[in-house]
Amino acid sequence: MHSIIIHYAEIGLKKGKRAFFENKLMHNIEKKTGFRPERHYGSLIIDGVSQKKYELIKNELSNTPGIAYFCHALKATLTINSIINKAGKLLGKNKTFKVVTKRSNKAFKHTSIEVNKLVGEHFYNKGFKVDVHNPEQRLYIEVIERNAYVYIEKISGLGGLPVGSSGKLLLLVSGGIDSPVSAYYMMKRGCRIEFIHFYNEKAGVKEKIIELVKILSKFQGRSIIYLIPFRDIQKEIILKTPSDKRMIIYRRLMLRIAERIAEQIKAKGLITGDSAGQVASQTLDNLRVIWNAASLPVYAPLIGFDKEEIINIARRIGTYETSILPYSDCCSYLVAKHPETRAKLEDIERIEKRLNIERLVNKGLRNKEIIHTRLLPTLL
């Protein structure tokens, strides 16, 4: 049987609220892996994991926000012999090594330095090569209340904060490359995210969105998607507004509808995948007018990212291949070849007076479809 030691990221800095963050992380880990970790001196420990289960849990932990790194450890009793015995199973003879001990249990009869020395000498006498400056492997020993843990490998986590610790946000997800990457960044800042998508076509697009959200669910667990048919709303906009302003008006309407859902689900704000200047609708003038339609804050975590940087992250988190599949983007439905890039709020508001905004918003809300994605079944 194996153990896993989980070291968390920024939670350690949260003095008064530390227990709150730890509990969130423990809860999230239990939901994803089926194992409830125990708390020990600023780290979390899962005991009694079989090799087979470990491989599955490893996957889940590397995708759980709030974890700085975790270690695949062997559990020893509180004696030097037992520690040496476990270390012998991990240490490779062909690489130089160094022992690094951390002793949180001050009642243990040896200090960290003594443990380093005793264990190091044992292996040195057996022909292992020591290198205290540039070792090829580090043998970590953690001595806690009732046990010691021994490990070699540290596996990096995502960092950030546990999902749910910062509250809930609603993401406008479009099917492109950017918005799924925004979701990832906000999940890493502890936000639980629900998704809203507006579609014009009857078929095809929904499946793509559901697929993208499923991929993102590996970070936060189950997700909820609100799908809003937008075609009829757009038809009415097309009848009454000039084609160079339509994209802005579509997007303002999306925000208004999203905001109403956000209120219902008690989300504290909206997220978009906007990046300054990337496309015509994303000039600073336009974004100012678009975001003005919402009274909730609109967060755009990618605002300062280059496309190249966004694509790299999309590849890393696994959304890229799905994002680049062709789909019909309803924002560009019957808009001018050269859309407005310097929108003025007064102009747009004047044009919008021709529409019955409240009725259009209600129409969108009335026809919404709600989809619950399940966890990607690695463990379940």
Q: Which residue, 63 or 286, has its beta carbon nearer to ligand ATP?
A: 286
Q: Does 198 bind ligand ATP (CB under 6 A)?
A: yes
- Using the rule CB under 5 A, give the single segment among 5-13, 132-140, 142-150, 172-180 that binds Mg ion: 172-180
Of how many residues is the chain composed?
Answer: 380
Q: Does 197 bind ligand ATP (CB under 6 A)?
A: yes
What is the spatial distance between Cα 361 and Cα 351, in angstroms, rounded to a whole number? 16
How many Cα atoms within 13 Å fall on the side-chain side of residue 92? 9
- As given in the structure block, the two tokens for residue 20 are 């709150």
Per-residue b/e over 232-250, b at no fewer than 16 CB within 10 Å?
ebbebbeeebeebbbbbbb
> Which residues 6+ apart lie within 8 Å of 4 measured at CB?
37, 45, 46, 49, 54, 57, 61, 70, 71, 72, 73
- Using the rule CB under 5 A, give the single segment among 41-49, 128-136, 143-151, 167-175 that binds Mg ion: 167-175
Q: Does 305 bind ligand ATP (CB under 6 A)?
A: no
- Of 147, 128, 339, give the one whose Cα is nearest residue 139: 128
Q: Which residue, 45 or 270, has its beta carbon nearer to ligand ATP?
A: 270
Q: Which residue, 29 or 335, has its beta carbon nearer to ligand ATP?
A: 335
Q: Does 322 bind ligand ATP (CB under 6 A)?
A: no
The answer to whether 354 touches 246, Cβ cutoff 8 Å, is no
- Using the rule CB under 6 A, give the single segment among 11-19, 88-96, 98-106, 326-334 that binds ligand ATP: 326-334
- Least distance (Å) between residue 312 CB and ligand ATP: 14
Q: Which residue, 64 or 241, has its beta carbon nearer to ligand ATP?
A: 241
Q: Does 323 bind Mg ion (CB under 5 A)?
A: no
Q: Which residue, 108 or 291, has its beta carbon nearer to ligand ATP?
A: 291
- Taking each continuous run of H as one helix and of E as one strand, the counts in the chain are 13, 14
- Residues in contact with ligand ATP, total (CB under 6 A)? 20
Site of interaction with ligand ATP (CB under 6 A): 172-174, 176-179, 197-198, 254, 272-274, 278-279, 281-282, 329-331
